[in-house]
Amino acid sequence: DARVTQTPRHKVTEMGQEVTMRCQPILGHNTVFWYRQTMMQGLELLAYFRNRAPLDDSGMPKDRFSAEMPDATLATLKIQPSEPRDSAVYFCASGSDRGNQPQHFGDGTRLSIL
Amino acid sequence: GDSVTQMEGPVTLSEEAFLTINCTYTATGYPSLFWYVQYPGEGLQLLLKATKADDKGSNKGFEATYRKETTSFHLEKGSVQVSDSAVYFCALSARSTGTASKLTFGTGTRLQVTL
């Protein structure tokens, strides 16, 4: 089965450090989504792309977060500088806007900022 | 805007009990509706979907029927197993946005099944 691949699965770092999370969407999917999941806030949409173009990043703190798609096989989410409140699980999902297709999720990056 | 409301959890059931997790939605147009399941340490997986009124989605013994008149998509299973313990998310995709795969999620309902 095709899968969304996220790396790293786990990341522990000190506050102030740059964090980069990567996502390989399913081949042929033209939409990519970044979510953050915490106990307090639940699942939050941070940003999403269609055909590699950013469509909505209103859920993302712009001063420290950035999301890009350098090519169709790679999406990145960066935090610089990181803060303890950024500790969460970050999920990438990909989908297709052709027909009623569901999103497919990766297994997430569990991020801990000390 | 679009929204999804799920029943509060956690829901605790004994094995072989009947399960219902309520989900209602607010959306313009005719959304597609989904249930996702998240097992511990994993991402969300699609459980079932329905794309138009009166459709019934089903998978692994779970069912949900798209009820336009009550704007609901309740998840049911006749006999739960311990392995069904997970968090269940109801979601909708509003076609009117022009980006069919963008989803609006409910807050999730944790199900715990005991022996």
- pLDDT tens digits, residue range B7-38? 888 999 999 999 999 999 999 878 889 999 99
Is pLDDT at A80 greater than 70 in this prediction? yes
Mean pLDDT on B72-82:
97
Give the residue on B whose Cα is nearest the Cα of A102: B101
pLDDT band at B70 (very low <50, low <70, confident <90, very high): very high
CA–CA gap between residue A103 and residue B100 (Å, rounded): 10
> Coil, strand, or helix at residue A18?
coil
Residue A100's pLDDT is 64
Q: How confident is the model at residue A14 (pLDDT cuts 50, 70, 90)?
A: very high
Percent of chain A with pLDDT over 90: 76
Average pLDDT, chain B: 91
The shortest C-alpha distance from B57 to chain A (Å) reads 13
Contact B99, B1 (CB under 8 A): no
Confidence band of A99 (pLDDT split at 50, 70, 90): low
Report yes or no: B32 at the A interface, CB cutoff 8 Å: yes
Token readout for A34 is: 């970044």
Residue linked to tokens 């998840």: B75
**Is the Cβ–Cβ distance between A85 and A106 less than 8 Å?**
no
Query: Per the CB < 8 Å rule, is B103 touching A103?
Result: yes
| Residues of A with Cβ-Cβ distance to B101 under 8 angstroms | 31, 95-97, 101-103
Which region, left, alpha or beta, applies to residue B8 given φ > 0 means left and ψ of -120 to 50 means alpha? beta
Across the range A46-63, mean pLDDT stands at 90
Query: H or E stretch including A38?
Result: strand A31-38
Of B98, B101, B105, which has the smallest distance from its Cβ to A43's Cβ?
Answer: B105
Binned at pLDDT 50, 70 and 90, residue B98 comes out as very low
Who has greater pLDDT, B97 or B41? Answer: B41
Identify any residues that bridge with A112 across adjacent strands, giving them in sequence order. Answer: A12
- Taking the C-alpha atoms of residue B2 and residue A99, their distance in angstroms, rounded to an integer, is 19
Q: Pull the structure tokens for residue A53.
A: 């173009």
Token pair recorded at residue A87: 């500790």
What average pLDDT score do residues A60-73 get?
93
Question: Closest Cα of chain A to B81: distance in Å?
Answer: 23
CB pair distance less than 8 Å for B44 and A105: yes
* Residue B38 to residue B43: CA distance in whole angstroms: 6
CA distance A30 to A35: 17
Closest by Cα among A56, A90, A61, A37 to B101 = A56
Task: Tell me what pLDDT residue A40 has.
Answer: 87
pLDDT band at A26 (very low <50, low <70, confident <90, very high): very high
Q: What is the DSSP track for B47-102?
A: EEEE-STT-EEEETTEEEE-BTTTTB--EEESS--GGG-EEEEEEEE-GGGS-TT-
Residue B41 confidence (pLDDT) above 80: yes
Q: What span, in angstroms and rounded, lies between the C-alpha atoms of A59 and B101?
A: 17
pLDDT at B88: 97
